[in-house]
Every structure is written in C-alpha cells, then in structure tokens.
Amino acid sequence: MRILHTADWHLGKTLKGQSLLEDHRHVLEQIFNIIHDEKIDVIIIAGDVYDKPSPSESAVSLYDNFLKRVHQETEAAIVVIAGNHDSGDRLGSYETLVDPNRILLRGSLKGKERVLVRN
C-alpha cells in the first residue's frame, strides 16, 4: 500500500498582505501529480487544511476542486483530519456527501468513528 502523508496546507494564508493562492494551487498540482504518477493508494491530509476557521471562498474552492479531482481522476482513498487552524465542523460538514468507501473526513471528534474500508 502506497500512502502519501501531507499536513499543514494552510490554504487561504496571506503573507505580508500577499495572497499565497497561486503558490497553493501550484503545490496542490504537484501533490496531485505524485498521487497520479506514483499510484498512491491513500492520501492523508493531517490537519490545518485552512489557515483559519473561516477560510476565504477561493481557499474553499481550491480545496474542493482538489478533492474532486483526486476522487474523479485517481483510485486513491482520501483521509482528512481537522487541525487546530481548521473549523472541525466546517471540514466535517462534507461527511454525508462523500463516497464512504474512498473518503474519510474527520472534523470534530465523535464518540463512534466509522472505519474506511476499501474493497
């Protein structure tokens, strides 16, 4: 099994008033290429997807488009865990909308967790 572990994307971050959106877009393209070219089985995004609990619309769109592309164009399973910069409720709100066999999103902790099982 080939696992790609990532963390601390901080989408939506600005540095000295300058948006890092294009830099983030470039890095996510590199990550996508690794998933595709190396035939990654599971990508783990372990916290701090966003830079703040209420990310910009452009940051949310970048994240959404990345997840959709990975899901549609690869066979990789996706595991996302909220970090201290994320809103657990915001990330977890997608849980009911995703493919339960390939995507596991964890925002706020719950008493009973489901397991991601791939056939």
Please, are residues 78 and 35 in contact by the beta-carbon 8 Å criterion? no
Tell me which of 5, 36, 71, 85 is the catalytic residue: 85
Tell me whether residue 26 is one of the annotated catalytic residues.
no
Task: Tell me the Ramachandran region of residue 39: left when phi exceeds 0, alpha when psi lies from -120 to 50, beta otherwise.
Answer: left
DSSP conformation letters of 79-95? EEE--TTS-HHHHHTTG
Query: Is the Cα torsion angle 59, 103, 27, 83 positive or negative in sign?
Result: positive
- DSSP strand pairing (18-19 vs 42-46): unpaired
Amino acid at the residue 81: I
* Residues that are catalytic: 85
